[in-house]
Structure 1
Amino acid sequence: MSEKLQVKEPAKLLVFLAERLPGWARSKIKQRLQGGCVSVNGTVITQHDYALNVGDVVEVGAAAKTTNSTPSQLEILYSDRDIIAINKPAGLLSVGTTKETQQHALAILRNQLSRRSQAVKLWPVNRIDRDTSGVLLFATSREMREAVMAKWDKAEKTYLAIVEGCPSPAEGTIDQPLRADDEEYRMHVGAHPDAKPAITHFTTERTNGSRTLLRVQIDTGRQHQIRAHLSWLGYPIVGDQRYGTAGVRMGLHSLSLKIINPKNGKELSFGTPAPADFFVLMNQRR
């Protein structure tokens, strides 16, 4: 069920909701805002201080349904004795970290492929962010992982990104170095003694004026590269809380990956279409 409320006097959105929904905890209202569940006159708004005018209609929808359970099986896109490619869902870590206790793709896949008599060992070749969906690659030996990575500069990495706004020109290249900030866990864009080269190419697939679907290819593979570059350009990825505005999910999908098989020099290609909830983001407006 949703709540429809009409504005009778100018107010800030969070203050208005707190007054008109007295039974709601302030934290609950903030969660609905951040989750893209609040709209004003049909447009999704996530800003707490958004200015409301007399006559505006504010609608508060139900929170997006989430599942606390982690998938026990992952979709395998390709598998041979050396390489396994999977389709990682958004919201799942690629691998575990010392700070994370949640389940992750590496552990799930390892458990999925292991037998009681033989445990499978896997090494991550690439990583994609927790909130990014799509192609994720593993090797069955450390040697294979290192061999694939040795030719990583020849790999073709293609993504789909839904961004706020409409880039002009419609296509281009972002050639800006990136520097990691471990305290803020984000990348800074621009020249710096510690920055590393990063190149991102983008092409517009379609736009509705307020949001745009981009096809993105990266020559390098820096952490948060696409997210940081597009935000720097002025077109942050939809739902990217770190470099833009929070939402129901982040509009970034690893569409395809092409690598050189180090054993025979032939090209291997893996791909998976973006899920339905990714394209839903195109129809939402801030």
Structure 2
Amino acid sequence: MAQQYKVKQRGKLLEFLFTNLEGWSKKKVKQRLQGSSVAVNGEVTTKHDFILNVDDIVEVGMVHRAGTSAQTTNRLEIIYQDKDLIAINKPAGLLSVGTIQENKQHALAILRTQLSRGKNSVKLWPVHRLDRDTSGILLFATSKEMREAVMANWGKSEKVYLAIVEGTPKENKGTINQPLRLDEKEYRMHVGKHPDAKPAITHYTVKESKEKRSLLEVSIETGRQHQIRAHLAWLGHSIIGDERYGTKGGRMGLHSMRLSIIHPKTKKILRFEVDAPKDFYALLN
């Protein structure tokens, strides 16, 4: 969801953002503006000298207009972009990449269209994937070689999620070290020892607890398909709204909050972080 700000005096958009987005670096503000993640009165703009008038409404983030949803949006919030890598904040309900049945309305296609100019089509490769109902950081590379270079060190990357689960774990902190095996017929992970199972390690910390639900911060050493969902269900605390491993519901309570990687070219650590939207935290209640 987008953050909204009301303009109190006439001025330029970039100066307004610098003033109102407290704690944001100027570089981050410019990236959001250039990434089409800023709207004025419902219209997306990338112009830093766009003139704001008193009572204008400025939105920063994933801008949702009336009647739109993750399935119908045509713009994505870009949180980082350079010549090699692009990170977005994927909304819940949107596929990361297409399938045979759904090959148009997915993050890869939307982002490619969003960044392309005329006949100059942008080529993108997904570095990893998020499940359709998981929101948060999704990373793309602008070449196959860059994707493979990032994946070569994927095991060293920091991957942190927020999860809202049923009940409260007995221990405030814990580690789940249980192998996972994909059942292709049921399309779900089975937890436990098996000749075909692969190692999987998940760490969790309880951040907040209500009467029937808890907010966890979860980090994973491995990156198996459905790893967090299957591990937490095995622990006895399935993720809210996870029909496959728990109970059917509305929005699934899983959000990719933080990702840190080593940039293959610069060798510098890139750290992306984006908080969960309001509808995620609403699940805790």
TM-score by length of 2: 0.75
What does residue 192 of structure 1 align with?
Answer: 194
What does residue 171 of structure 1 align with?
Answer: 173
State the Cα RMSD in Å: 1.3
d(CA) in 2 for partners of 1:171, 1:222: 21
1:68 Cα deviation after fit: 8.0
Tell me whether 1:111 sits opposite 2:90 in the alignment.
no
Secondary structure of 2:140's partner?
strand
Mapping 1:3-22, distance limit 5 Å: none
Mapping 1:1-286, distance limit 5 Å: 67=69, 70-101=72-103, 103-283=105-285
Secondary structure of 1:240's partner?
coil
Q: Once the two structures are aligned, what percentage of the paired residues are identical?
A: 67
1:98 Cα deviation after fit: 2.2
1:124 Cα deviation after fit: 0.1
Secondary structure of 1:221's partner?
coil
Query: Any gaps of 5 or more consecutive residues in structure 2?
Result: 1-66
Could you say if the C-alpha distance between residues 201 and 236 of structure 1 is closer, same or farther in structure 2, counting changes exceeding 3 Å?
A: same
d(CA) in 2 for partners of 1:203, 1:142: 36
d(CA) in 1 for partners of 2:165, 2:73: 28
Secondary structure of 1:107's partner?
helix
Could you say if the C-alpha distance between residues 182 and 158 of structure 1 is closer, same or farther in structure 2, counting changes exceeding 3 Å?
A: same
What does residue 4 of structure 1 align with?
Answer: none
The residue type equivalent to 1:169 in the other structure is E
Tell me if the contact between 2:70 and 2:94 (Cα under 8 Å) persists in the aligned partners: no
Secondary structure of 1:146's partner?
helix
Q: Deviations over 1:80-103 (max 9, x none)?
A: 000000000000000012243451
Could you say if the C-alpha distance between residues 167 and 84 of structure 1 is closer, same or farther in structure 2, counting changes exceeding 3 Å?
A: same
d(CA) in 2 for partners of 1:69, 1:157: 26
Could you say if the C-alpha distance between residues 102 and 118 of structure 1 is closer, same or farther in structure 2, counting changes exceeding 3 Å?
A: closer
d(CA) in 2 for partners of 1:199, 1:155: 14
d(CA) in 1 for partners of 2:104, 2:85: 25
d(CA) in 1 for partners of 2:109, 2:101: 16
d(CA) in 2 for partners of 1:189, 1:219: 16
Secondary structure of 2:98's partner?
coil
Could you say if the C-alpha distance between residues 69 and 154 of structure 1 is closer, same or farther in structure 2, counting changes exceeding 3 Å?
A: closer
1:264 Cα deviation after fit: 2.2
Q: Deviations over 1:155-175 (max 9, x none)?
A: 000000000000011110000
Higher RCO (Cα < 8 Å, 6 or more apart): 1
d(CA) in 2 for partners of 1:66, 1:267: 36
d(CA) in 2 for partners of 1:218, 1:278: 20
Alignment coverage as a number of residue pairs: 219
1:179 Cα deviation after fit: 0.2
- Whose radius of gyration is greater, 1 or 2? 1
Query: Any gaps of 5 or more consecutive residues in structure 1?
Result: 1-64
Q: Once structures 1 and 2 are overlaid, which stretch shifts more, 262-271 or 217-226?
A: 262-271
TM-score by length of 1: 0.75
The residue type equivalent to 1:180 in the other structure is L
Secondary structure of 2:283's partner?
helix
